[in-house]
């Protein structure tokens, strides 16, 4: 039985050759890269017009890969899916399903990526070298600018008239290579460009340049985080660089790595996607950068985030000689719904626009507790940061350390004006 992978999941591969198959009206390609995330040359791109390379062969709907026979220095093989008819959007085709088998035909893995929306290409999966062996990671990452855009981001020289209007200033492919070189030196997995993040970053950089100022919110009131989610990217974690001055990708990376806090996204193992954007202020000639770093939303990631908030909250109660709070799924459902509602309707309050209060939400969710308390927060990026913020606030701290509270539900949602919205809903007898 093949292991069912979800986006972001990975598993070890046995030694030897393997085959990757995606039946249907699709074209498969693979891109072989080194530890820096870049190809060594055009021969590292295996597709319908160039079906073989050392260790990789394309045969219809199947790609065969033998990691031991890849060219020297190969550290990663990215599997790419595109429509067989380039004029047909992926969203109108059957949902793709990738299967991986070993050299003897034994099933190893299966991956059904999220259904594409506006994307024209999907990065399906990547094989990567780790601790002397090879692993496979499911991706499901969409691109909106075609196979040529994907190839360029990996360093392949592609001439495509449809993309002639792409970036003629600081190279985003150069930025990706420099970022991945820094991550490779730190022993971290490489990031890939997500077209939705890149589109949001370009639009935000253009607004900053047009107004000559750095800000996470445009003069029209649209926040960078709202721009990301309205573009179709659901994130669990997001970091941003808003920078003016550097003229090239190399100058931008040097500036970011010269400061500890600015360099944190480069060192964050959780980030898998990059969204680069830049624009030039015509009046001053100054270059404005928006570069987004993200970990995509997943059910497992969300579950861990809320579990971490509960654990950190109970650590504070233990330090105060109080019993720990138990997780309550009914309170959690109400807390999650409130965080999501604050994002969707752009408000930040214990009271909803209709006048519903925390106890109303708890009762509607079926929670039986007589006493209800609520903490909310927005803008904090991690469970540790949000719990520390609550503990530093007398009112919120009082809820966390109320002896009569016995249960807790935690909600977390991303997007909106502040980027992150957290809710704690407490229940107890007094």
The C-alpha atoms of residue 341 and residue 287 are separated, in whole angstroms, by 37
Residue 277, phi then psi, degrees to nearest 5: -150, 145
pLDDT of residue 153: 75
Instruction: Reply yes or no on whether the pLDDT at 86 is more than 70.
Output: no
Q: Are strands 326-327 and 405-415 parallel, antiparallel or unpaired?
A: parallel
Give the full edge-to-edge strand order of the sheet including 121-130.
Answer: 10-12, 133-143, 121-130, 76-83, 26-33, 45-46
- For 204-226, the pLDDT digits (tens) are 999 999 999 999 998 778 899 99
pLDDT of residue 144: 65
- For 310-344, the pLDDT digits (tens) are 999 999 999 999 999 999 999 999 999 999 999 99
Tokens 């138990």 found at: 326
Q: What percent of the chain has pLDDT over 90?
A: 62
pLDDT of residue 189: 84
Instruction: Provide the b/e sequence for 22-52 (b: ≥16 CB within 10 Å).
Output: beeebbbbbbbbbbbbbbeeeebbbbeeeee
SS3 131: coil
232 confidence band (pLDDT: 50, 70, 90)? confident
- For 176-209, the pLDDT digits (tens) are 888 988 988 888 888 988 888 998 999 999 999 9
The pLDDT of 170-178, averaged and rounded, is: 75
Q: Are 108 and 13 in contact (CB under 8 A)?
A: yes
pLDDT of residue 118: 66
- For 250-302, the pLDDT digits (tens) are 999 999 999 999 999 999 999 999 999 999 998 899 999 999 999 999 888 99
Where do the H-state alpha helices sit in 320-419?
Answer: 329-345, 358-364, 383-391, 394-400
The pLDDT of 79-103, averaged and rounded, is: 84
Q: Are strands 273-280 and 192-193 parallel, antiparallel or unpaired?
A: parallel
- pTM for this predicted structure: 0.63
- Per the prediction, the chain carries an average pLDDT of 89
pLDDT of residue 171: 57
Helices and strands of the chain, counted as H and E runs: 11, 21
pLDDT of residue 24: 86
């Amino acid at each position: 039985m093949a292991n069912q992978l979800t986006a972001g999941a990975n598993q070890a591969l046995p030694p030897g050759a393997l085959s990757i198959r995606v039946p249907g009206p699709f074209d498969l390609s693979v891109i072989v890269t080194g530890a820096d995330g870049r190809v060594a040359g055009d021969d590292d791109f295996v597709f319908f017009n160039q079906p073989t390379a050392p260790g990789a062969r394309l045969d219809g709907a199947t790609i065969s890969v033998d990691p031991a026979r890849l060219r020297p220095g190969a550290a990663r093989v990215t599997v790419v899916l595109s429509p067989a008819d380039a004029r047909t959007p992926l969203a109108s085709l059957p949902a793709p399903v990738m299967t991986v088998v070993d050299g003897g035909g034994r099933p190893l893995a299966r991956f059904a990526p999220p259904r594409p929306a506006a994307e024209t290409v999907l990065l399906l999966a990547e094989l990567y070298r780790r601790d002397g062996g090879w692993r496979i990671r499911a991706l499901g990452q969409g691109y909106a600018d075609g196979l040529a855009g994907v190839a360029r981001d990996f360093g392949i020289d592609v001439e495509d008239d449809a993309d002639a209007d792409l970036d003629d200033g600081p190279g985003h492919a150069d930025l990706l290579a420099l970022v991945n070189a820094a991550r490779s030196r730190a022993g971290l997995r490489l990031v890939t460009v997500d077209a939705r993040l890149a589109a949001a970053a370009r639009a935000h950089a253009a607004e900053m340049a047009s107004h000559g100022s750095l800000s996470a919110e445009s003069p029209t009131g649209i926040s960078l985080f709202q721009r990301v989610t309205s573009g179709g990217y659901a994130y669990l974690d997001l970091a941003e660089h808003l920078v003016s001055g550097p003229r090239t990708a190399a100058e931008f990376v040097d500036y970011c790595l010269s400061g500890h806090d600015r360099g944190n996204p480069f060192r964050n193992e959780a980030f898998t996607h990059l969204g680069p954007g830049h624009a030039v202020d015509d009046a001053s000639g100054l270059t404005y950068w928006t570069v987004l770093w993200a970990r995509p939303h997943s059910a497992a990631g969300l579950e861990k985030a809320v579990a971490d908030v509960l654990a950190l909250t109970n650590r504070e109660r233990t330090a105060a000689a109080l019993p720990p709070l138990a997780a309550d799924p009914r309170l959690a459902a109400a807390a999650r719904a409130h965080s999501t509602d604050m994002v969707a309707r752009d408000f930040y309050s214990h009271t909803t626009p209709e006048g519903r209060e925390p106890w109303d939400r708890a009762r509607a969710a079926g929670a039986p507790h007589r006493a209800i308390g609520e903490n909310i927060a927005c803008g904090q990026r991690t469970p540790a940061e949000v719990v520390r913020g609550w503990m530093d606030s007398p009112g919120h701290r009082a809820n966390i350390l109320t002896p009569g509270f016995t249960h807790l539900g935690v909600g977390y949602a991303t997007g909106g004006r502040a980027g992150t919205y957290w809710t704690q809903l407490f229940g107890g007898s007094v």
